[in-house]
């Protein structure tokens, strides 16, 4: 069994913020500690240089007194027992010096100075503060020469190895962060929880939605980050509501339309069972077959309409409309012959559109079926295929009774039949509805107008031209 591990955005955000703050603090701490260490070193060096400049100005008696008394250069004087304190800032540290005249004679020198303090080449110019080792211990050394008197002074100071200045700075930097992090964690936890409150509202609203309640969700106030989610959910609810309404309408319409042919089949079957005359039985059975065929055709149209409503993805290819129209005319030839109708095809043979060949054939077949079915006996049907730089247009025209302007607006509605169609009892009212759905599927435009000789009906379907196909002239054929 697989166990799904859920993760909390709230907890993840809290840890992400804390880790980010901690990382920034660690970098700042390291940078501050490094700067504090460097500043302390610079302070020690600056003090040594200042001491050298002071000594070089003193006379011999004062230099002698300083050499005897010593120069304590410790950083702190507030500790009660510096001898037992491990902090070298509070322990006595004495600077040593040696002053020579221009001839190199020693004017004054600290009693604790050792030969190791004296370099073999004193030099004539001022030197930078440098570190030297005396008895294995580091010392800071600095030499200064006075150009006016020729005096040279060398100052030595034991390096401060256990200073708490830098650690004190680091401690003062770190201590607030140590106490601030838990407080920050609590603030982040409650702040993120408060910010996520709209999500809880959305979750509760979604849980209350079902097939009977698909109203849009309203969250006030709606944060900018949450608004796209709310909009997406509302769009989904709207599409779901439309789908349910289409399904209910489809079920109701299908039940209504199938009821009539099934009732007719039942009546004809009862007639066939009750009839004693063989010819009457044959006639009733032929009508049963016709009713079954009509019901099957209606079911196929309903299924196709449902598929188009759901907008299933259909693979497309280049479809030659003229050729497909010829196939539809051949298929409906017997139907046209039964009504003594003439079907004419003209236009451009090479005009192609980007569509599905089966659906394109269904579209043309429905248009031709309507034209033959509702056209006048011994009438005329004209199919033309024309193209320009942007579109390929197929038009199916007849010279039948046509429809009124009011009826023309509703011809693509499901199960709608004009007065002439209702009077004849033919059709299911789905033909042009399927045509409109197929046209919309391939971004084609539908226009309904007057037919042959301004009589009857003309249905025009304008497809976008297949890309890469030029305008070719073709000789119209009949």
CA distance linking residue 267 with residue 284, whole number of Å: 9
User: In terms of domains, do 249 and 384 share one?
Assistant: no
478 occurs within a structural domain: no
Helix axes 357-374, 431-441, angle to 10 degrees: 150
User: In terms of domains, do 422 and 379 share one?
Assistant: yes
Can you name the residues that pair with 344 across neighbouring β-strands?
Answer: 382
Predicted confidence band of residue 474 (pLDDT cuts 50, 70, 90) = very low
239 occurs within a structural domain: yes
C-beta of residue 353 within 8 angstroms of C-beta of residue 319: yes
What stretches of 210-353 show up as alpha helix (H) in DSSP? 227-274, 278-309, 321-331, 333-338
Contacts 24+ apart (CB under 8 A), 291-298: 291/261, 291/262, 291/264, 291/265, 292/265, 294/261, 294/428, 295/258, 295/261, 295/262, 295/265, 297/428, 298/257, 298/258, 298/261, 298/428, 298/430
* pLDDT tens column, 68-95: 888 887 776 665 444 445 566 667 778 8
User: In terms of domains, do 20 and 164 share one?
Assistant: yes
Q: What domain count does the chain have?
A: 3
Buried b (16+ CB within 10 A) or exposed e, 32-46: bbeebbeebbeebbe
User: In terms of domains, do 30 and 124 share one?
Assistant: yes
194 occurs within a structural domain: no
54 occurs within a structural domain: yes
* pLDDT tens column, 102-112: 888 888 888 87
N residues, the chain: 478
* pLDDT tens column, 194-223: 777 777 787 888 888 877 778 888 777 667
The CATH number of the domain holding residue 460 is 3.30.565.10
User: In terms of domains, do 94 and 54 share one?
Assistant: yes
User: In terms of domains, do 107 and 145 share one?
Assistant: yes
User: In terms of domains, do 17 and 162 share one?
Assistant: yes
Q: What angle do CA 390, 393, 396 make, to 5 degrees?
A: 175
The H-or-E segment that residue 113 falls in is none
- Residue 10: pLDDT above 90? no
User: In terms of domains, do 380 and 457 share one?
Assistant: yes
Smallest CA-to-CA distance from 87 within 163, 33, 161 is with 163
* The last residue of a domain, from among 168, 188, 208: 168
CA distance linking residue 194 with residue 188, whole number of Å: 10
Q: Which residue is associated with the tokens 């400049």?
A: 53
473 occurs within a structural domain: no
User: In terms of domains, do 104 and 126 share one?
Assistant: yes
* pLDDT tens column, 388-443: 888 999 999 988 877 766 676 666 665 555 545 443 445 555 667 778 888 888 88
**Residue 401 sits in which domain range?**
316-464
- Beta strands 342-347 and 380-387, pairing class: parallel
For position 23, what pLDDT does the model report? 83
> What is the rounded average pLDDT of the residues 248-274?
73
CA distance linking residue 254 with residue 299, whole number of Å: 8
- Residue 477: pLDDT above 80? no
pTM of this structure: 0.47
CA distance linking residue 283 with residue 280, whole number of Å: 5
1 occurs within a structural domain: no
Of residues 135 and 328, more confidently modeled = 328
- Residue 335: pLDDT above 60? yes
User: In terms of domains, do 32 and 144 share one?
Assistant: yes
Buried b (16+ CB within 10 A) or exposed e, 215-231: eebebeebeeebeebbe
Predicted confidence band of residue 123 (pLDDT cuts 50, 70, 90) = very low
For position 456, what pLDDT does the model report? 81
Average pLDDT across the chain, whole number: 77
397 occurs within a structural domain: yes
């Amino acid at each position: 069994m697989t166990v799904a591990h859920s993760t909390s955005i709230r907890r993840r955000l809290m840890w992400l913020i804390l880790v980010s703050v901690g990382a920034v603090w660690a970098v700042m701490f390291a940078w501050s500690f490094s700067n504090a260490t460097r500043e302390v070193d610079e302070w020690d060096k600056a003090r040594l240089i200042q001491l050298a400049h002071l000594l070089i100005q003193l006379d011999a008696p004062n230099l002698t007194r300083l050499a005897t008394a010593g120069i304590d250069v410790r950083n702190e004087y507030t500790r009660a027992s510096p001898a037992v304190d491990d902090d070298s800032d509070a322990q006595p540290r004495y600077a040593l010096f040696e002053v020579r005249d221009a001839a190199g004679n020693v004017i004054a020198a600290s009693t604790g100075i050792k030969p190791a303090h004296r370099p073999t080449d004193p030099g004539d110019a001022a030197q930078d503060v440098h570190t030297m080792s005396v008895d294995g211990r580091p010392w800071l050394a600095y030499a200064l020469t006075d150009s006016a008197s020729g005096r040279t002074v060398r100052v030595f100071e034991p390096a401060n190895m256990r200073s708490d200045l830098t650690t004190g700075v680091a401690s003062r930097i770190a201590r607030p962060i140590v106490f601030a992090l838990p407080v920050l964690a609590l603030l982040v936890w409650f702040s993120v929880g408060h910010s996520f409150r709209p999500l809880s509202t959305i979750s509760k609203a979604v849980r209350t939605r079902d097939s009977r309640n698909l109203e849009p969700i309203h969250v006030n106030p709606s944060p900018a980050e949450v608004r796209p989610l709310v909009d997406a959910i509302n769009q989904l609810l709207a599409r779901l509501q439309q789908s349910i309404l289409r399904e209910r309408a489809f079920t109701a319409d299908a039940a209504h339309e199938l009821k009539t042919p099934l009732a007719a089949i039942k009546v004809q079957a009862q007639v066939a069972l009750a009839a004693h005359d063989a010819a009457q039985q044959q006639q009733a059975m032929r009508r049963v077959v016709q009713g079954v065929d009509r019901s099957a055709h209606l079911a196929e149209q309903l299924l196709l309409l449902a598929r188009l409503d759901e907008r299933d993805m259909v693979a497309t290819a280049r479809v030659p409309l003229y050729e497909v129209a010829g196939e539809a005319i051949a298929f409906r030839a017997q139907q046209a012959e039964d009504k003594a109708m003439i079907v004419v095809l003209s236009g451009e043979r090479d005009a192609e559109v980007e569509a599905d060949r089966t659906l394109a054939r269904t579209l043309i077949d429905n248009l031709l079926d309507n034209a033959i079915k509702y056209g006048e006996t011994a009438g005329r049907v004209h199919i033309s295929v024309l193209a320009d730089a942007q579109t390929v247009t197929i038009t199916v025209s007849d010279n039948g009774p046509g429809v009124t302007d009011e009826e023309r607006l509703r011809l693509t509605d499901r199960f709608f039949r004009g007065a002439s169609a209702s009077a004849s009892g033919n059709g299911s009212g789905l033909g042009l509805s399927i045509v409109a759905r197929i046209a919309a599927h391939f971004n084609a435009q539908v226009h309904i107008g007057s037919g042959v000789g301004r009589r009857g009906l003309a249905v025009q379907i304008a497809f976008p031209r297949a890309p890469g196909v030029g305008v070719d002239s073709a000789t119209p054929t009949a």
